[in-house]
Structure 1
């Protein structure tokens, strides 16, 4: 998995999250959950970006682990927004599938680097 693929996908995901947050505030008049998902959803890409400048493999893993946690938290907020009817099924499925894909990529990279360290 190329580093640039993760960077690109996490940036595009962040853009979707910003737009979702704007939609929730402007169209749905929802202000609390929109802030929560904005924080966690944009933190994924920020931590991925930080990992590019890691000082060691362990630092790299640590930064990606934070991105992983933020991505999983974002999945929680998406599910909550869906279950409380702020997102319809199509909206939820679309953005949640992007979040799940990111989560899988991040987990895979962490596992790969950990295996490389053990050798």
Structure 2
């Protein structure tokens, strides 16, 4: 199934709880890999004052998004899930901000790598924003 089907209407994208569970586990893994890709990218970069600030902020937001998605998967209620998924959306969006700032700055970077990272984080943001929008307390 294409990613867009999940983003457009996650409720209709799976027919049973087993498929939903598989989707949740795959998304959990995607967040972990996306965070690791950010970590590994910065391990190969030289030090500079500006890059140091961006590195610190980007590493914090990316790993926080992944950790909070993991916590959302363990939520004991819809309210708890909603609270955690709100943090995931915020941290994922912040990760995109730092990637955009790095891409648009004069700091020497591998623009192709930043673009690749940005695409994955953009897809993750679309997915979790839709999950947030679909959460209700009725």
| TM-score bracket for this pair, using the shorter chain length | 0.7 to 0.9
Which digits, 9 at most, give the CA deviation of each residue in 1:39-87, with x for residues without a partner?
0011111000011221210110110110110010011100111111443
Alignment pair present for 1:9 and 2:41: no
Q: TM-score, normalised by structure 2?
A: 0.75
Secondary structure of 2:113's match? helix
Corresponding residue number in structure 2 for 1:44? 65
Could you tell me which of 126, 129, 133 is aligned with 1:104? 126
Corresponding residue number in structure 2 for 1:34? 55
Q: TM-score, normalised by structure 1?
A: 0.86
Secondary structure of 1:94's match? helix
Indicate the RMSD between aligned Cα atoms, in angstroms: 1.6
Gap runs ≥5 in structure 1: none
Gap runs ≥5 in structure 2: 1-9, 11-22
Task: Tell me how far 1:89 sits from its aligned partner.
Answer: 2.9
Q: Is the CA contact (8 Å cut-off) linking 1:61 and 1:110 kept in structure 2?
A: yes
**Structure 1 runs, 4 residues or longer, greater than 3 Å off:** none
Which digits, 9 at most, give the CA deviation of each residue in 1:68-117, with x for residues without a partner?
10010011100111111443431221000000000011012122222xx3
Aligned-partner Cα distance in 1 for 2:129–2:42? 26
Corresponding residue number in structure 1 for 2:92? 71
